[in-house]
Amino acid sequence: MSQFAKPIGFFGKTLAKGMARGHKEFYKNALKAINPTKDDKYLEIGFGSGIFIKKYMSHVSRIAGIDHSDDMVKLASDINKKLVESGKAEFKQGNASSLPWDDNEFTVVAAIEVFFFLNETEKTLVEIFRVLKPGGRLIIEMAFNKDDGVDHKKYIKKMNLKLYSGEEMEKLLKKAGFNDIVIDYFEAVWIPIKGYIVPKGMVVKAIKK
């Protein structure tokens, strides 16, 4: 598994912090769709460094996160130390396909730059649907996708990516029970880490009615 899919050790921690710098535009576009309010109970899937939470989510009423890398749990807990110590934030180790929370706990769930790494996509969406309150929203941001006009063959193989088109995302989300699905795109972002251009990132928003 690549360090992007599961950052581990000193290198993984450094990479995760670097990703937060490289993902600035992805964060901005995800944030627009999340539109967090102080009453939100927020769950993040694959939080990595936890820097998105520190920068943009500290005002919500509750924060939770799951990441399958123990080192990311440590890093995000450290970076969000005050929120964790105050009892407002919790970062758990685990797989997105089995969420350790009760039904209807969250008003918003986000997955930023992680959905294309998931193996059990359908199971994960059913789990997200379960933990969302009725009226709750899911936001999935993916810089790489099947609608972006790029030949990703090399990276699909190297990083074991599973890319989706907007149409495929809509089908998956409907199957999991979501409604009001909106697929948006954002244009031309430069990732400083690799000098990589993302011509058409995708932000998906769906509601549990």
Ligand X SMILES: C[S@@+](CC[C@H](N)C(=O)[O-])C[C@H]1O[C@@H](n2cnc3c(N)ncnc32)[C@H](O)[C@@H]1O
Please give the helix or strand (H or E) that residue 32 lies within, else none. Answer: helix 24-34
On the CB side of 90, CA atoms within 13 Å amount to 9
Q: Tokens 């199957």 label which residue?
A: 175
* 201 is a site residue for ligand X (CB under 6 A): no
* 115 is a site residue for ligand X (CB under 6 A): no
Identify which of 103, 107, 91, 110 has the alpha carbon closest to the alpha carbon of residue 49: 91
* CB-nearer residue toward ligand X: 39 or 163: 163
* 7 is a site residue for ligand X (CB under 6 A): yes
Please give the helix or strand (H or E) that residue 28 lies within, else none. Answer: helix 24-34
Q: What's the closest the beta carbon of residue 209 comes to ligand X, in angstroms?
A: 26
Q: What's the closest the beta carbon of residue 65 comes to ligand X, in angstroms?
A: 9
Query: What character string, x for contact with ligand X (CB under 6 A) and - otherwise, covers 146-175?
Result: ------------------------------
| CA–CA distance, 37 with 60 (Å, rounded to integer) | 6
**Sites of contact with ligand X (CB under 6 A):** 4-7, 19-20, 23, 46-49, 52, 66-69, 72, 95-96, 112-114, 117-118
